[in-house]
Chains A and B, each alone.
Chain A
Amino acid sequence: MNKTAHAYAEGMFGPWPWLLWAQNGIITRRGAVEQFLHTDAYQLPPPMSTMPSLINVFVCVSDFDLDMGPTGFVPGSHLGPYMKFDGDEWSPRVPAVAKAGTAIVWEGRTWHGQGEHRSDKTRYSVAMSYCLWAFRSGENYPASLHRQRARDALRPTNCGCSVSARKWSARWCIRSTQAG
Chain B
Amino acid sequence: MRDIAASKSTGPHRTADRLPDATTDVAQGSQEPPRRTGVTLHRDFPFRSRPLPRCATRLDEQAYMERKTGVAKLGGPNGLTGLIPSVPGDASEPIYQGVDGS
Chain A interface (Cβ < 8 Å from any Cβ of B): 2-4, 7-8, 10-12, 23-37, 39, 52, 59, 61-62, 73-81, 83-86, 88-92, 94, 96, 98-107, 109-111, 114, 117, 122, 124, 126, 139, 144
Compute how far the CA of A78 lies from the CA of B12 in the bound complex, rounded to whole angstroms. Answer: 8
Q: Is the CB of A107 within 8 A of B38?
A: yes
Q: Is the CB of A84 within 8 A of B11?
A: yes
0/1 interface trace, chain B 65-102, chain A, CB 8 Å (1 if under): 00000000001011111000000000001111111111
Extra 6 A-B pairs, beta carbons < 8 Å, given A2-B46, A2-B48, A110-B39: A27-B59, A28-B79, A76-B14, A76-B38, A101-B43, A101-B47
Chain B interface (Cβ < 8 Å from any Cβ of A): 7, 9-19, 22, 26-27, 29-31, 34, 36-48, 52, 55-56, 59-60, 62-63, 75, 77-81, 93-102
The number of A-B residue pairs with CB atoms under 8 Å apart is 204
A69 to chain B, nearest CB (A): 9
